[in-house]
């Protein structure tokens, strides 16, 4: 990837980071309704308040993040620390809630495990490149959008694939389980084979091993992969909108909103 492109990515992320901490918990208006009974609202408020109190009493915020996505959440093999944009947001929330960005525990999640881990109480929030969808709103309450991505393709530099329209019958596209990527690629390229892996690190390894013609996910994640290996490029074209939001457990909207008011 060209140095100029990399700098554009980091500048964009830095600008968004400045805005995100104050906009995170504006919890999507779609996840709140004015038609609810007063009793239901009271229950929601109580649940949200209790969640916040539990975090403060515990003395740390437990956040589910990705460990395999360069730029967003990647474990540094030299330091053992997880680094990236989502990690910085998580630390910002810990500082806002508890007064110290170090009062945080990061737990590894994948696209497949993040919602179950949230709903069984293992984590307080998901900050893991999770696209806000109507289907997921049935299981998770979301903050406002903190990053807008779009799905694209990662291919070898010399690949003849320059558009999703170049994907033909018999080709194989790789992605991760539990993501919206598999659904989207099947809609726009129904004749291709879709091979799903446990995470994107495994999918990228499989691509480099020749197990597929392209890897698909959000362009922001693909940029990180291309930055790691200059033999690959990200197509300019996107074929979906992927708004990322912070996920909190259902019926804790008041907790979600309170994150910016702490």
Which tens digits make up the pLDDT trace of 98-130? 999 999 999 999 999 999 999 999 999 999 999
**pLDDT-based confidence at residue 257 (cuts at 50, 70, 90):** low
Q: Are residues 107 and 167 in the same domain?
A: no
Q: Are residues 87 and 14 in the same domain?
A: yes
Please count the structural domains in the chain. Answer: 2
Give the CATH number, domain containing residue 54: 3.40.190.10
Order of strands across the sheet that contains 232-234: 193-197, 172-176, 214-218, 151-156, 232-234
Q: Are residues 141 and 37 in the same domain?
A: yes
Beta strands, E only, the chain: 61-65, 68-69, 73-75, 82-83, 104-108, 125-126, 140-142, 147-149, 151-156, 172-176, 193-197, 214-218, 232-234, 242-244, 247-249
Residue 210 has pLDDT above 60, yes or no: yes
Q: What is the pLDDT of residue 46?
A: 53
**pLDDT-based confidence at residue 21 (cuts at 50, 70, 90):** very low
**pLDDT-based confidence at residue 47 (cuts at 50, 70, 90):** low
**The token pair that represents 23 in the structure block:** 């906009």
Q: How far apart are CA 209 and CA 231, in angstroms?
A: 13
**pLDDT-based confidence at residue 158 (cuts at 50, 70, 90):** very high
Q: What is the pLDDT of residue 87?
A: 96
Q: Are residues 125 and 228 in the same domain?
A: no
Helical segments of 99-140, H only: 114-119, 134-137
Higher-pLDDT residue of 250, 237: 237
Q: Are residues 249 and 235 in the same domain?
A: no
Q: Domain range for residue 190?
A: 151-240
Q: What is the pLDDT of residue 179?
A: 87
């Amino acid at each position: 990837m060209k140095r100029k492109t990399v700098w554009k990515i980091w500048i964009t992320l830095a600008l968004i980071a400045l805005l995100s901490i104050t906009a995170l918990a504006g919890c999507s208006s779609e996840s709140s309704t004015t038609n609810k009974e007063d009793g239901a609202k009271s229950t929601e408020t109580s649940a949200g308040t209790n969640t916040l109190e539990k975090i403060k009493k515990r003395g740390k915020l437990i956040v589910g993040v990705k460990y395999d996505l360069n730029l967003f959440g990647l474990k540094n093999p030299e330091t053992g620390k997880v680094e990236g944009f989502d990690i910085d947001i998580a630390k910002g929330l810990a500082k806002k809630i508890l007064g110290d960005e170090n009062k945080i525990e990061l737990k590894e999640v994948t696209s497949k495990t993040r919602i179950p881990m949230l709903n069984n109480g293992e984590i307080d929030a998901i900050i893991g490149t999770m696209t806000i969808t109507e289907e997921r709103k049935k299981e998770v309450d979301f903050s406002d959008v903190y990053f807008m991505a779009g799905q694209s393709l990662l291919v070898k530099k010399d690949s003849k694939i320059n558009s999703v329209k170049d994907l033909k019958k018999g080709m194989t596209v790789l992605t991760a389980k539990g993501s919206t990527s598999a659904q989207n690629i099947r809609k726009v390229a129904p004749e291709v084979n879709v091979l799903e892996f446990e995470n994107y690190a495994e999918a990228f390894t499989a691509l480099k091993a020749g197990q597929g013609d392209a890897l698909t996910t959000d362009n922001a994640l693909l940029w990180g992969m291309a930055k790691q290996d200059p033999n690959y490029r990200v197509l300019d074209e996107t074929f979906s909108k992927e708004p990322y939001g912070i996920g909190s457990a259902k019926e804790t909207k008041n907790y979600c909103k309170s994150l910016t008011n702490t």
